[in-house]
């Protein structure tokens, strides 16, 4: 049996170590432990609401995302995981060639994509020096993970539109990287 005074000092040490670990961020929330309370509305031929957990259960793709703002501030590269925008649009009833996809967010931001972009085409791509380079294959996803962690609110989570490439050296214009996405709408033309 451990003497009481030794038990106390051991407990004290364990508590302190826990505090240190917390201060150092070592006891971060395990991935997926606390799914955010966030819904996505898909509006096409009919309207569907998906929960965050339902979105995470869909087939996922991964890749590198690296964006740049209108004034040239670069963000990334990061590894992202999420659902293809094309797959979500398909769930909303699909698109015809001339349709447009409105992606909007909780903060009132709206960006419009065409069907070519849905397939990862027609994006401008840049190198580290922000010189234009020929676009490699790209995918447009609704991302929920960044570098293996749930996307934080600060980074545009729980759900953010991200343009991904196979390599980390491809920069895309940030205007289409809609943060805090809560609605995807198909507009028939």
> Which spans of this chain sit near another protein (rule: CB under 8 A)?
6, 9-10, 12-13, 16-17, 19-20, 23-24, 69-73, 100, 102, 107-114, 122, 124, 126, 130-132, 173-175, 187
Specify the residue, 104 or 139, whose C-beta has the smaller distance to another protein: 104
Half-sphere exposure of 154 (CA within 13 A, CB side): 1
CB closer to another protein out of 10 and 167: 10
CA distance 171 to 41: 29
Residue 96: Cβ within 10 Å count: 9
Q: Which residue has the tokens 């020096």?
A: 129
**Which is nearest to 168 in space by CA: 76, 84, 90, 86?**
76
Q: Residue 43's Cα: distance from chain center in Å?
A: 20
Q: Tell me the backbone φ, ψ of residue 162, rounded to 5 degrees.
A: -135, 140
Q: Return the number of the residue (59 or 72) whose C-beta is nearest another protein.
A: 72
Q: Which is nearer to another protein, 38 or 55 (CB)?
A: 38
Distance CA 13, CA 7 (A): 10
Q: For another protein, give the closer residue by CB, 15 or 53.
A: 15
CB of 62 to another protein, least distance (A): 25
DSSP β-ladder status, 125-126 and 171-173? antiparallel
């Amino acid at each position: 049996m451990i003497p009481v005074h030794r038990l106390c000092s051991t407990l004290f040490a364990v508590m302190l170590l826990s505090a240190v670990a917390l201060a150092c961020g070592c006891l971060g929330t395990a991935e997926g432990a606390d799914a955010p309370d966030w819904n996505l509305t898909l509006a096409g031929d009919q309207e569907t609401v998906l929960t965050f957990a339902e979105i995470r259960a869909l087939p996922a793709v991964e890749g590198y995302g690296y964006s740049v703002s209108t004034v040239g501030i670069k963000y990334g590269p990061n590894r992202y995981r999420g659902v293809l925008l094309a797959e979500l649009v398909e769930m909303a009833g699909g698109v015809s060639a001339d349709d447009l996809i409105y992606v909007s967010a909780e903060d009132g931001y709206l960006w419009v994509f065409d069907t070519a972009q849905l397939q990862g085409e027609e994006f401008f791509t840049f190198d580290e020096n922000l010189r234009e380079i020929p676009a490699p294959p790209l995918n447009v996803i609704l991302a929920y993970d960044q570098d293996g962690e749930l996307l934080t609110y600060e980074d545009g989570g729980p759900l953010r539109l991200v343009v991904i490439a196979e390599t980390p050296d491809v920069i895309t214009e940030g205007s289409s990287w809609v943060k805090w996405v809560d609605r995807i709408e198909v507009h028939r033309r």
